[in-house]
Amino acid sequence: MPELPEVETVRRGLQPAMEGSKILKAEARRKDLRFPFQKDFIARLEGQTVTGLGRRAKYLMADLGSGDVLLMHLGMSGSFRVLDGVNDSAPGQFHHPRSEDRAHDHVVFHMSSGAAIVFNDPRRFGYMKIIARNALEDEPLLKDLGPEPLGNEFDAAMLAASCANKKTSLKAALLDQRVVAGLGNIYVCEALYRSHLSPRRLAATLATKKGEPTDHAGRLVNAIHAVLNQAIKAGGSSISDHRLTSGELGYFQHSFGVYDREDEKCQTKACGGIVRRFVQNGRSTFWCPKCQK
């Protein structure tokens, strides 16, 4: 499933075509994706100007002039294409290639900018929902989300406080969207590797008995910041001219430290360990048993 850097890269790719532009026509070519479309889905979109395009965790959020917000989730296989009559682009870098089968083009926004924004989703685990801006705090999809990992409030003290009494593994805690929003399997593996912390380590060890952050918490927060910023920067720069085609290999695949590198030599200087894989909470975990403790 696309994680925070991929979703942020998609947002930056869509922004020039959507932000400040009016939705002249909207098409929903089926009745549902993961969930059914609202009965007034099209009516609440057409004629509305997208005043801003933001992101919360793994959600794209388009603010509309009406006061509504269009919430969009890519699911496992969803992607957008921007068709402007000159260059067609598919913003975003994904570890797994995106579909090019037009039979799975399920939603289309025709913008006053001259662009058409097409949402393609073969597996239909993505979804869209229109929510009144003043009702966002009570929206079930959003209200339990934790802090943004790149937000000013997310620091070692906050992470330690969230994990202080947890009896789960450190990896499971980081995947809990109530602890920190937007992280997924790939970037959790990478952050734990960079901070030299074992995915099997108890989450509670990020806090002292008094609840204060340990050195582990500080290292982990720094690693989360670094890997996300690096991934976003690389993904953003790669789509600056909107010429990507679906399925191209990008920064993420080539720069993994441990993810998908089972049986390869650890890249940590003077480590000499071998990257291993095991299944944890139903997902593949990649780590170096020698330098991650």
pLDDT score of 90: 62
Residues acting as catalytic residues: 2-3, 58, 283
pLDDT digits (tens, 9 = 90+) for 110-160: 999 999 999 999 989 999 999 999 999 999 999 999 999 999 999 999 999
pLDDT score of 84: 79
pLDDT > 90? residue 106:
yes
Percentage of the chain lying above the pLDDT 70 cut = 87
pLDDT score of 151: 93
Please give the Cα distance from 236 to 55 (Å, whole number): 14
- The count of other CB atoms within 10 Å of the CB of residue 95 is 15
Please give the Cα distance from 104 to 81 (Å, whole number): 12
pLDDT score of 246: 33
Secondary structure of the chain as H, E, C letters:
CCCHHHHHHHHHHHHHHHCCCEEEEEEECCCECCCECCCCHHHHHCCCEEEEEEEECCEEEEEECCCEEEEEECCCCCEEEEECCCCEECCCCCCCCCCCCHHHEEEEEEECCCCEEEEECCCCCCEEEEEEHHHHHHCCCCCCCCCCCCCCCCCHHHHHHHHCCCCCEHHHHHHCCCCCCCCCHHHHHHHHHHCCCCCCCEHHHHECCCCCECHHHHHHHHHHHHHHHHHHHHHHHHCCCCCCCCCCCCHHHHCCCCCCCCCCECCCCCCCCECEEEEECCEEEEECCCCCC
pLDDT > 80? residue 170:
yes
pLDDT > 70? residue 242:
no
Percentage of the chain lying above the pLDDT 90 cut = 75
pLDDT tier, 253 (very low <50, low <70, confident <90, very high otherwise): low
Q: How many residues comprise the chain?
A: 293
Instruction: Please answer whether residues 288 and 275 qualify as being in contact, where contact means their C-beta atoms are separated by less than 8 angstroms.
Output: yes
| pTM confidence score | 0.87
pLDDT score of 222: 97
What's the one-letter identity of residue 252? F
Please give the Cα distance from 60 to 45 (Å, whole number): 15
Higher pLDDT, 123 or 25: 25
pLDDT digits (tens, 9 = 90+) for 184-241: 999 999 999 999 999 999 999 999 999 999 999 999 999 999 999 988 877 643 333 3
pLDDT score of 257: 92
Q: What is the mean pLDDT of the chain?
A: 89
pLDDT score of 233: 78
pLDDT score of 3: 85
Structure tokens belonging to residue 182: 């937007």
